[in-house]
């Protein structure tokens, strides 16, 4: 069966391509290489022995999307990762985010809803919950007004998919990620943040490697165990496996509703200081950090209630925070060697 992975050379996309190939799927990876590199194809091949078909397509080009789907009429499903995802950048440049994250989604949906089998997995985010009132967060938690244009594009994306599924053959699963971290155990693929990392873990590994002077911990006056903010850090390989299980659910017509939503997290919250201490333990290195003021727009805590994913999707995160950070550190050292 042929599965298209948009953003297939990106951080989560590339790990999902590996897991799809491991399950015997034929994969076409689409990427415009705006936030990834063509060498990721070789990394995937070194892991699975198979290089996925690759098409360098910018999904903002409607004609290019139409031509792709004209060429590939035997597609069984699409997993859509392709999107811009930097919260801060989205505030500075909202139109870039609405064009890339919404227009591209619409063009892809216009094509797949013409296919015999339209099974669509959407990369969403826990950011849609904002600061949820109740922890752990269930899928029924209310979607809060977005804190950024990036978060808004995820909310709008989910609404578009829901509207389209109502009036087409398309079946879809929305996967709301918590905080993806880590890298494939082989050290062949991982996160490649461009420029100064916005996210915590790549900033930690770059600091440990000496690329950054020190980590700034954004606030220790939150109402949490140690004052630093709490998140649910999930290993990217666990996350990738969830995408394969979700796609299999649709392919086997096991979905109960035309659009289903699942939180993908470990179910455990970790504070920034706990992440730092875990990293120091697994790396054997002291991390240079200082406490500074809170970052605009950050929430106090978010971690997933994973009951629905565990029981209905039949998926559970297996890898620990220590294993995730050890894999991220191995990857950082590999790419700098
Ligand atoms: C985690 C914690 C920071 C950097 C974002 C997006 C979310 C998803 C994941 C795409 C927070 C603290 C961070 C640093 C720090 N992206 N931190 N110093 O903000 O939870 O989520 O990335 O889907 O949609 O919103 O992740 O890694 O930026 O921050 O203290 O240099 O680490 O304050 O508490 P976040 P993050």
* pLDDT at residue 194, as a whole number: 86
Question: What is the CATH architecture assignment of 200-229+268-304+322-331?
Answer: Alpha-Beta Complex (3.90)
What tokens appear for 209 in the block? Answer: 């490697």
- 217 CB within 6 A, ligand 1: yes
- Nearest CA owner, ligand 1 atom 32: 200
Please check whether residue 2 is in contact with residue 53, taking contact to mean a CB–CB distance below 8 angstroms.
no
Look at residue 119 in the predicted model and tell me its pLDDT: 98
Residue pair 56/202 in contact by the 8 Å Cβ criterion? no
Per-domain residue ranges of the chain: 2-181+235-266+306-318, 200-229+268-304+322-331
Look at residue 190 in the predicted model and tell me its pLDDT: 98
CA of 218 to the centre of ligand 1 (A): 10
Measured from the Cβ of residue 66, the count of other Cβ atoms closer than 10 Å reads 14
Q: Kindly tell me the burial class for residue 92, based on how many C-beta atoms sit within 10 Å of its own C-beta (0-12, 13-18, 19 or more).
A: exposed
First to last CA, the chain: 37
pLDDT score at 147: 87
Distance of alpha carbon 257 from alpha carbon 288, whole angstroms: 49
Q: Do 200-229+268-304+322-331 and 2-181+235-266+306-318 have the same topology in CATH?
A: no
- Find out whether 262 and 175 touch, Cβ atoms under 8 Å: yes
Cα–Cα distance list, 70 to 62, 67, 108, 161 (Å): 12, 5, 12, 22
Residue to substitute in 13, 179, 273 for testing ligand 1 pocket (most ligand atoms within 8 angstroms of CB) = 179
Between CA 215 and CA 288 the distance in angstroms is 6
pTM: predicted TM-score of the whole model, two decimal places: 0.97
Residues of the chain with pLDDT under 50: none
Please tell me the distance between residue 151's alpha carbon and the centre of ligand 1 in angstroms.
13
151 vs 124: CA distance, rounded Å? 9
| Confidence (pLDDT) at 301 | 97
Cβ neighbourhood burial of 140 (10 Å; 0-12, 13-18, 19+): exposed
The Å distance, Cα 295 to ligand 1 centre, comes to: 9
* 272 within ligand 1 shell (Cβ under 6 A): yes
Nearest CA residue ID for atom 34, ligand 1: 229
On whether the CB atoms of residues 126 and 263 are closer than 8 A, the answer is: yes
Measured in angstroms, how far is the CA atom of residue 14 from the centroid of ligand 1? 21
User: Helix H segments across the chain?
Assistant: 11-22, 39-48, 62-71, 87-92, 94-98, 104-112, 149-166, 200-209, 236-251, 272-283, 307-308, 321-336
- 3-state DSSP percent of the chain in helix, strand and coil, to 5: 40, 20, 40
For ligand 1, atom 27, which residue shows the shortest CA distance? 199
Which residue numbers are catalytic?
Answer: 150
User: 2-181+235-266+306-318: what fold?
Assistant: Rossmann fold (3.40.50)
Ligand 1 pocket member 198 (CB < 6 A): yes
For residue 37, give both structure tokens.
Answer: 């590199």
**Cα(108)–Cα(201) distance, integer angstroms:** 32
């Amino acid at each position: 069966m042929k599965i298209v992975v948009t953003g297939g050379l990106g951080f989560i996309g590339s790990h999902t391509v590996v897991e799809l190939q491991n399950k015997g799927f034929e994969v076409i990876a689409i990427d415009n290489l705006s936030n990834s590199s063509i060498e990721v194809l070789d990394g995937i091949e070194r892991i699975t022995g198979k290089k996925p078909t690759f098409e360098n397509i910018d999904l903002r080009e409607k004609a290019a999307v139409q031509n792709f789907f004209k060429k590939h009429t035997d597609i069984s499903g699409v997993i859509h990762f392709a999107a811009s995802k930097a919260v801060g950048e989205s505030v500075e440049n909202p139109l870039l985010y609405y064009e890339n994250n919404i227009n591209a989604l619409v063009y892809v949906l216009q094509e797949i809803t013409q296919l015999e089998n339209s099974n669509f997995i959407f990369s969403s985010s826990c950011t849609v919950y904002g600061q949820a009132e109740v922890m752990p967060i269930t899928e029924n938690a209310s979607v809060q007004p977005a804190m950024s244009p990036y978060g808004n594009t995820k909310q709008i994306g989910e609404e578009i998919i829901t509207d389209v599924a109502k009036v087409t053959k398309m079946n879809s699963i929305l996967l709301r990620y918590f905080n993806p971290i880590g890298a494939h155990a082989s050290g062949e693929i991982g996160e490649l943040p461009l420029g100064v990392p916005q996210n915590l873990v790549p900033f930690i590994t770059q600091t440990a490697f000496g690329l950054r002077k020190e980590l700034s911990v954004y606030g220790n006056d939150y109402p949490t165990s140690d004052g630093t903010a709490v998140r649910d850090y999930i290993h990217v390989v666990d996350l990738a496996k969830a995408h394969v299980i979700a796609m299999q659910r649709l392919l086997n017509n096991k979905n109960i509703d035309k659009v289903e939503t699942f939180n993908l997290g470990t179910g455990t919250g970790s504070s920034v200081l706990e992440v730092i201490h875990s990293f120091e333990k697994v790396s054997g290195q002291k991390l240079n950090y200082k406490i500074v003021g809170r970052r605009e727009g950050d929430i106090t805590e978010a971690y997933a209630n994973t009951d629905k994913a565990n029981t209905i999707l039949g998926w559970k995160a297996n890898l620990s925070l220590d294993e995730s950070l050890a894999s991220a550190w191995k990857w950082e050292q590999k790419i700098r060697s």
